[in-house]
A and B are shown apart, each in its own frame.
Chain A
Amino acid sequence: MSVNAKNELSGSHAGSNQAPVSEQNGAFGFGADILMAGNKSKGKRPYFFNSEETERVLNIAMAAAAEVAVIRERLDTIERLLESKGLLKQSEIEAYEPDDKAAEERQLWHARFAARLLRIIQQEIEAVAKPEENKPMQQIADEINEM
Chain B
Amino acid sequence: MQYQLPPVWTKLYRHAVFPEFSHDERARYNFLANLNRFISTVIAPGNQIAFQNRVKPAFEKEKGRTFANRHEVAEAMSKDPVYQSWAALRRCTMEMRQQNGRAVVMRQAKELADKVKQYAGDNLILKKNFKVPEYLRHVDNHLMPGSYHTSYFEGDVSNAANYDSGLFVTSGGMLGSLTDGGGKAIAKWVKEYYPDFRPKKILDIGCGLGHNTLPLAEAFPDAEVIGIDAGEPMLRYGAARANALGVKNVKFIQMDAEDMSEFEDETFDWVQTTMFLHETGGKAIHKIMKEIGRVLKKGGLCLHIEQPQYTPDMSYYEQFMRDWDAYYNAEPYWGHMHDLQPEDLMAECGIPKERFMQIGVKAVNDLDTQKKDDKITEDYGRTPIWNVFGGWK
Q: List residues of chain A with CB under 8 Å of any chain B CB.
A: 1, 5-6, 9-11, 20-22, 24-28, 32-34, 36-43, 45-50, 55, 58-59, 62-63, 65-66, 69-70, 73-74, 77
- Which residues of B (97-148) have their CB < 8 Å from a CB of A? 98-103, 106-111, 114-115, 118, 138-140, 143-146
Of B22, B32, B107, B110, most A-chain CB atoms within 10 Å = B107
A43–B330 touching, CB < 8 Å: yes
* Contact (Cβ within 8 A) B27 A58: no
Asked whether any CB of chain A lies closer than 8 Å to the CB of B95, the reply is: yes
| Cβ of B78 under 8 Å from chain A | yes
- Set of chain B residues within 8 Å of A48, measured between Cβ atoms: 78, 83-85, 87-88, 91
Tell me the minimal C-beta distance from A26 to chain B in angstroms: 4
Are A49 and B84 closer than 8 Å at their CB atoms?
yes
Q: Which residues of A contact B83 (CB under 8 A)?
A: 48
Contacts of B101 in A (CB 8 A): 37
Q: Are B106 and A10 in contact (CB under 8 A)?
A: no
- Who on chain B is nearest to A59 by CB? B92
A contact patch SS: helix
The chain B residue sitting closest to A54, CB to CB, is B88
The answer on a CB contact under 8 Å between A46 and B327 is yes
Interface-centre pick from B27, B28, B327 (highest chain A CB count, 10 A): B27
Q: Provide 11 A-B residue pairs closer than 8 Å at the C-beta atoms, listed in order of the A residue.
A: A9-B114, A24-B107, A25-B107, A27-B108, A27-B110, A28-B106, A34-B103, A41-B98, A47-B88, A48-B85, A77-B23
Given A24-B107, A62-B89, A69-B28, 5 other A-B contacts at CB below 8 A?
A5-B114, A21-B25, A39-B102, A41-B98, A59-B92
Count of chain B residues near A, Cβ 8 A: 51
Q: B189 in the interface, Cβ–Cβ < 8 Å?
A: no
Number of A-B contacts (CB under 8 A): 133
Contacts of B110 in A (CB 8 A): 9-11, 27
- The CA-CA distance from A37 to B109 in the complex, in Å, is 12
Nearest Cβ in chain A — how far from B139, in angstroms? 5
- Minimum CB–CB distance from A74 to chain B (whole Å) comes to 6
* Complex alpha-carbon distance, A137 and B138, angstroms: 46
**A residues within 8 A CB of B143?**
41
Whether A49 touches B20, Cβ cut-off 8 Å, given contacts A42-B138, A43-B330, is no
| Contact assessment for B111 and A9 in the assembled complex, using a CB-CB cutoff below 8 Å | yes
Cβ-closest chain A residue relative to B90: A48
Please determine whether B92 and A33 come into contact, CB atoms closer than 8 angstroms.
no
Question: Counting CB contacts under 8 A, is B31 at the interface?
Answer: yes
Give chain B nearest CB distance to A81 CB in angstroms. Answer: 11
For A11, what are the chain B residues with a Cβ–Cβ distance below 8 Å? 110
Q: Contact between A27 and B144 (Cβ–Cβ < 8 Å)?
A: no
Which 7 A-B pairs have CB atoms at the shortest separation, nearest pair first? Answer: A33-B106, A41-B140, A37-B102, A26-B107, A27-B109, A37-B103, A73-B27
With a CB–CB cut-off of 8 A, which chain B residues contact A70?
Answer: 24, 27-28, 31
